[in-house]
Chains A and B, each alone.
Chain A
Amino acid sequence: MHPAPSVIFFTVFSGLGFGFLAWLGIGIPAPQGWAAFPYFFVAFAMAVGGLIASTFHLGNPKNAIKAFSQWRTSWLSREAVLAVLTLSIMGIFAAANIFLGISMPPLGIIGSVLALITVYTTSMMYAQLKTVPRWNHWTTSLLFILLALGGGAILASHSLGTILFIGLAAITQLYVWDAGDKRFGKRGHTMETATGLGSIGKVRMYEPPHSGTNYLLSEMVYVIARKHAIKLRIIAFVLAYVAPMVLAMTSGPGFNLYIVALIAHIIGILAQRWLFFAEAEHVVGLYYGKR
């Protein structure tokens, strides 16, 4: 799949933003009055910024309002609805904190649950696709949620939360990479099943349908730079998981190096998300003799 920068930014930053909102909702940390402003500002800027970035990959964004209508079947629509709902609830929670100095814990808890459900709906846009076996698994969603909680914990400068959730995410990540590498083969999608010609024998591409490229090839059969995958996995793993955990363990209960941990985590997750798309193979590639 084509690793579009807009979608990478969207998933990384909205994940972090909603993850941070989930922590703020349960009062970790619990700043009051104007001191709370920078916390909520960062969380909202990331969540909303990510959502705005996602609109850059739309071909026809003028109809975007209609994306709230199909929540019965569409995970993208559900995501739009839940994102707005979460931001509204947390907006009220934040405004009450900042302007009135009133803390409303029940509202915050509802907001933080909704924030995590929003991250889940984001993950399901990918995990639902049978056409991309690497993504089509519940661990895709688990990793998105653990990363939101882990990234949120770094933003909340909560060292125990960082160690716990980044640690769980790291274990999940190793499984996701390993199992993901094998899943296309396991599902049994081949050029023979794609063409139905397997009953005769082995199929190979003789001539592609067009001499140039097309939308399908540039969007779904992205094979550029996969050769760096192993190096990028190591970079992503060290920066996104190992560095924040080591910093959280060594910098004491105050987690005073959380800014360094955050920068490492964000760079690592950008690399991880680039790989998430670039390594994902769509079954349509079989019609072109590619994966």
Chain B
Amino acid sequence: MTQLPETTAKKLGLVIDLDTCVGCHACVISCKGWNTENYGAPLSDVDAYGADPHGTFLNRVHSFEVQPDTGGCAQTVHFPKSCLHCEDAPCVTVCPTGASYKRSEDGIVLVNEDDCIGCGLCAWACPYGARELDQLAGVMKKCTLCVDRIYNENLPEVDRIPSCVRTCPAGARHFGDFADPDSNVSKLVEMRGGMDLMPEQGTKPENKYLPPRPKDTLAGVSADAPILTPVTDSPKGFLGWLDKALEAL
């Protein structure tokens, strides 16, 4: 049913730390792997070994450069982007078949591929580019928050988190329940000023991004100053003679 639930018991989602992410794309690959081998249609590639390869991914890492208003060096920010599991998910309400839905128990936004007609309207309605129509299967693919891992009792408990979070070597991704104010993710958002993407779209995303911390600035030294300053301006002895001799040339 494409009506959004009024409230959800849990608000599961991710916190992505833009200060910590190193842009290694390990989350992208582990996501593609898990979601190709498990739930739903595999994430296909087209022309995978040819001149123009492209394919379906549920998570992609953009890289941006930010020029601080206060001056100083530009900052490179690696920016992983996947479904934000919005509270007011516009992708769900536009679906004509009821294939897209938001779960009332945990807030996860999913696609029932057996109902999807591949019209693409949900991808149009999403401001974040979180949905991609698989070019071989013809159905809409999106992040499931690894719904087939987080409740999977066949996996060791340590693995019952989304594949991207489990894989991240930098610890830049965190999974938890935003409805619980004492959860790891709620505390991170509180401490680090977690933010919404494109809040003016009114989607109320669950996933939050932690902004990069401000970079240190070197007081009194310009960035392009020579690192070594002369030890002494008027050398004596042999160096003094050499200095004079070279000056005279």
Q: Are the chains A and B members of one assembly?
A: yes
Are A219 and B123 in touch, CB under 8 angstroms? yes
Whether B176 sits at the interface, judged by CB under 8 Å, is no
Are A195 and B129 in touch, CB under 8 angstroms? no
Whether A239 sits at the interface, judged by CB under 8 Å, is no
State the Cβ distance, A8 to closest chain B Cβ, in Å. Answer: 15
Q: Which residues of B have CB within 8 Å of A66?
A: 96-99, 115, 117
Q: Which residues of B have CB within 8 Å of A57?
A: 119-120
**Known contacts A69-B98, A131-B201, A209-B60; A204 and B123 CB within 8 A of each other:** no
Are B124 and A69 in touch, CB under 8 angstroms? no
Tell which of B52, B64, B94, B134 touches A213, judged by Cβ atoms closer than 8 Å: B52
A176–B127 CA distance with the chains assembled, in angstroms:
22
Q: Look across to chain A and name the residue whose beta carbon is closest to the beta carbon of B62.
A: A209
Whether A224 sits at the interface, judged by CB under 8 Å, is no
Whether B170 sits at the interface, judged by CB under 8 Å, is no
A 51-84 contacts with B by CB, 8 A: 57-61, 63-64, 66-70, 72-77, 80
A60–B195 CA distance with the chains assembled, in angstroms:
36
Q: Look across to chain B and name the residue whose beta carbon is closest to the beta carbon of A213.
A: B54
**Size bin of chain B's contact surface:** 35 or more
Q: Look across to chain A and name the residue whose beta carbon is closest to the beta carbon of B199.
A: A193
Are B197 and A59 in touch, CB under 8 angstroms? no
Are B98 and A70 in touch, CB under 8 angstroms? yes
Q: Look across to chain B and name the residue whose beta carbon is closest to the beta carbon of A214.
A: B54
Would you call the interface of chain A mostly helix, strand, loop, or mixed? mixed
Whether B138 sits at the interface, judged by CB under 8 Å, is yes
A193–B129 CA distance with the chains assembled, in angstroms:
15
Are B129 and A63 in touch, CB under 8 angstroms? no
State the Cβ distance, A282 to closest chain B Cβ, in Å. Answer: 7
Q: Look across to chain A and name the residue whose beta carbon is closest to the beta carbon of B194.
A: A196
Whether B245 sits at the interface, judged by CB under 8 Å, is no
> Interface code A168-193, partner B: CB below 8 Å = 1, 0 otherwise?
00000000000000000001110101
Are A125 and B198 in touch, CB under 8 angstroms? no
Whether A210 sits at the interface, judged by CB under 8 Å, is yes
> Interface code B1-28, partner A: CB below 8 Å = 1, 0 otherwise?
1110000000000000010000000001
Are B117 and A58 in touch, CB under 8 angstroms? yes
A195–B210 CA distance with the chains assembled, in angstroms:
11
Q: Look across to chain B and name the residue whose beta carbon is closest to the beta carbon of A125.
A: B121
Are A74 and B95 in touch, CB under 8 angstroms? yes
Total contacts A-B at CB 8 Å: 201
A70–B139 CA distance with the chains assembled, in angstroms:
18
State the Cβ distance, B167 to closest chain A Cβ, in Å. Answer: 17
> Interface code B186-219, partner A: CB below 8 Å = 1, 0 otherwise?
0000000001111111100000010110100000
**Size bin of chain A's contact surface:** 35 or more
Q: Look across to chain A and name the residue whose beta carbon is closest to the beta carbon of B25.
A: A209
Tell which of A76, A188, A196, A200 touches B119, judged by Cβ atoms closer than 8 Å: A76
Quick one: which of B56, B57, B66, B75 has the most chain A CB within 10 A? Answer: B66
State the Cβ distance, A105 to closest chain B Cβ, in Å. Answer: 33
Quick one: which of A68, A75, A129 has the most chain B CB within 10 A? Answer: A129
Are A215 and B56 in touch, CB under 8 angstroms? yes
A74–B132 CA distance with the chains assembled, in angstroms:
20
Are A283 and B60 in touch, CB under 8 angstroms? no
State the Cβ distance, A277 to closest chain B Cβ, in Å. Answer: 11
State the Cβ distance, A74 to closest chain B Cβ, in Å. Answer: 5
Quick one: which of A1, A80, A215 has the most chain B CB within 10 A? Answer: A215
Are B54 and A195 in touch, CB under 8 angstroms? no
Tell which of A76, A201, A205 touches B96, judged by Cβ atoms closer than 8 Å: A76
Which 4 pairs between the two chains have the least Cβ-Cβ distance?
A59-B118, A59-B138, A209-B60, A66-B97
Seen from chain B, the residues whose Cβ lies within 8 Å of a Cβ on chain A are 1-3, 18, 28, 52-57, 60-70, 75-77, 79, 81, 90, 92-99, 114-121, 123-129, 132-135, 137-140, 195-202, 209, 211-212, 214
Q: What are 10 A-B pairs at a CB distance below 8 A?
A: A66-B115, A67-B97, A74-B96, A197-B66, A203-B66, A205-B62, A208-B63, A209-B63, A212-B53, A284-B127
